[in-house]
Amino acid sequence: MQHFEIAVVGGGLAGSVAALALARTGRKIALIAPASGKTDERTTALMDQSIHFLERLGVWEDIVPSAAPLSIMQIVDGTKRLLRAPTAQFRAQDVGLYAFGYNIPNKILLETLDGAVSAEPNIVKLEQNVGTLDYSDERAAITLSDGSTVIVDFVIGADGRKSKCREAAGIGVRRWSYPQSALVLNFAHTLPHGNVSTEFHTETGPFTQVPLPGLRSSLVWVVKPQEAQRLIELPAEDLSRAVEDRMQSLLGKVTVEGTPQVWPLSSMMADRFGKGRLALIGEAAHAFPPIGAQGLNLSLRDIIELAGLLAATGDRPILKDAGERFNRRRRPDVMSRTFGVDILNRSLLSDFLPVQMLRAAGLHILTNAPPLRNLLMREGVEPGRGFRAVVDALRLRNEVRR
């Protein structure tokens, strides 16, 4: 029977970062996850706050050669509706940044994190499935698939939407689905993207192009499920032409690379994100459509909060109500982002004229009100950053008047 201070269950992006971050605070970590032979061809856009976190963990230098900066983000109304919104453009330099963030292949992220985890002396990797979990006020007991038992002071559940960690703690979830699927692929193009990410809003959802290094980009194309199936069955040349037509030849001739994938769209949110000696992160806690680059960025904010809450300071023990504390701290951010993405996605699907008017009016206001646009840009990069900037500006103005 082995004892660790913290067990991280799940070896995906969120679980790997959590194990590394908590190990760097001085805790002894068991990373419990079976070996995975799957290759993830998707990419992830990480915002400025997340990039700084990876820098502090010492892994960003190995990732950045494969990443592309996102210096400009623009939203284009690609619908054929009567009320169309104006094109809205957001520039990182307007809020004092070179880039809002970077787009990174998931394969590179996983390989880099796996290397860092393997080299970290405070982490022991247990390549097993979890059989059962038993929580008490003093500890948690985890039975593994080989019959062995691990005793830990705290559990971090990063084991996805069907989380055993969550189910064993009796935490319920709310799930809802959308009449949409996302076609995900990478493509080459003949014109430079200029570090600009373009999101076309269509009647079936967003068509989002995100830069990759060189003359390449990634794409998330949200359509009806039957259309996604039709597109993925097209010959590569025909699919390339369909992508090029949909984005109005913005990047010249398009050539789809590799094997596209289709992902049904749904959302999920746990009733609570922590309980006793358990915290839930990543898709064990929250999941929603790939809109607005929120998924992994939200998960990394989970981990940043946990690292501060569970850091080994002297001989400080892990409190038995650490899960409740984590839940209280994360609830406002998770709920606001989840429902914000849900409302935005539903507004794209709605044919109800007042909803279309509100969406168009909102983008029109953002286009013509730079202070509000800058505030929202800062909030998108890091929650609270925009409001802090307003407070700092008011404080500076008062000091100048004195």
pLDDT digits (tens, 9 = 90+) for 223-253: 999 999 999 999 999 999 999 999 999 999 9
Tokens 């701290």 belong to 329
| Buried/exposed code over 59-94 (b: 16+ C-beta within 10 A; e: otherwise) | bbeebbebbbbbbbbebbbbbeeeebbeebbbbbee
Domains assigned to the chain: 2-60+105-175+267-346 (3.50.50.60), 68-102+178-265 (3.30.9.10), 354-401 (no CATH)
Cα–Cα–Cα angle for 65, 71, 74, nearest 5°? 130
- Strand segments (E) across 78-138: 88-91, 101-105, 123-126, 130-135
d(CA 127, CA 123) in angstroms, rounded, equals: 13
pLDDT of residue 94: 87
The CA-atom distances, in angstroms, between 258 and each of 13, 30, 188, 229, 232 are 22, 35, 11, 17, 12
- The DSSP 8-state label assigned to residue 274 in this structure reads E
Q: For residue 212, give the nearest of 107, 287, 341 by alpha carbon.
A: 107
Contact 64, 212 (CB under 8 A): no
d(CA 222, CA 182) in angstroms, rounded, equals: 4
Distance of CA 222 to the CA centre of its chain: 17
Q: For residue 309, give the nearest of 273, 285, 343, 354 by alpha carbon.
A: 273
pLDDT of residue 387: 43
Residue 237 exposure: Cα atoms within 13 Å on the Cβ side: 0
pLDDT of residue 375: 67
Tokens of 124: 């022991």
- The DSSP 8-state label assigned to residue 12 in this structure reads S
d(CA 270, CA 280) in angstroms, rounded, equals: 9
pLDDT of residue 90: 85
Q: For residue 168, give the nearest of 141, 150, 195 by alpha carbon.
A: 141
- The list of the chain residues with pLDDT below 50 reads 350-357, 386-394, 396-397, 399-400
d(CA 217, CA 340) in angstroms, rounded, equals: 26
pLDDT of residue 130: 96
Query: Which positions ≥6 away from 88 have C-beta within 8 Å?
Result: 74, 75, 363, 366, 367, 373
Tokens of 364: 């029109």
